Chain A
Amino acid sequence: DVKVTQSSRYLVKRTGEKVFLECVQDMDHENMFWYRQDPGLGLRLIYFSYDVKMKEKGDIPEGYSVSREKKERFSLILESASTNQTSMYLCASSKTDFLETQYFGPGTRLLVL
């Protein structure tokens, strides 16, 4: 079974703090994704990566950056957290083709005060 893990289930941070969200997958998947999910808006793609050290912007990249130094690990970075970044963050991975089934982690619920 594919396993996607995220470093924290819940996080509370203060405005202006730098926040790191970590995601690890154990199935040698090429593609990894970061989404945020807000009530009434559904899932929105922040960034994705199709290879080590490669990254592409999704639909809402502003205020975020990512890092993929190893194939199994994809990090989302909030350089200076703001209250409008309070959300549920979901990491996902897929095997090779971008359109294959994505396997999601359990999510990190981030509260920025």
Chain B
Amino acid sequence: KNQVEQSPQSLIILEGKNCTLQCNYTVSPFSNLRWYKQDTGRGPVSLTIMTFSENTKSNGRYTATLDADTKQSSLHITASQLSDSASYICVVSVRRGSQGNLIFGKGTKLSVKP
């Protein structure tokens, strides 16, 4: 069964600290993996996308890694800011012929405190 598991469910950190969010998936055949950021009461916004051959991708203070062998991804946030408080959603794509399917994780809720 295709699944995407994220950990932790929630996380509280102090402003300026770093943190790492985890995403494990059992999806086949894998096409790509995205991390989305969702502010409270808003729609998700794409942060990074990685294909099978990529193992790291950065977007400012956000760095995503992908280990296709262990089927794990992480999102590292450096020097956190209050505006990083949001839910972070890992999404894995499965291709089936000309169509595909997106498997969503349930998200990690990050709170950055001053």
Contact = CB atoms under 8 A, between A and B. Distances in A.
B43 A43 contact: no
B106 A99 contact: no
Contact of B34 (A44, A101, A106): A101
B63 interface: no
Given A4-B43, A92-B43, A106-B43, A101 B49 contact: yes
B89 interface: yes
B43 A42 contact: no
Interface in A61-113: 90, 92, 97-99, 101-107, 109
A12 interface: no
By CB atoms of chain A within 10 A, which of B32, B43, B93, B95 has the most? Answer: B43
B31 interface: yes
Contacts of B100: 97-99
B99 interface: yes
A80 B45 CA distance: 31
Given A42-B89, A43-B89, A107-B41, A101 B46 contact: yes
A99 B46 CA distance: 13
Contacts of A90: 43-44
B102 A45 contact: yes
Interface residues of A, number: 20
A99 B104 contact: no
A41 B34 CA distance: 18
Nearest to B4: A42
A75 B81 CA distance: 37
B1 interface: no
A31 B21 CA distance: 30
Interface string A26-69: 00000000000000111111000000000000000000000000
A103 B44 CA distance: 8
| 3 A-B pairs with the lowest CB-CB distances in the bound complex, closest first | A104-B43, A42-B106, A99-B100
Interface of B: 31-32, 34, 41-46, 49, 89, 93, 95, 98-100, 102, 104-107
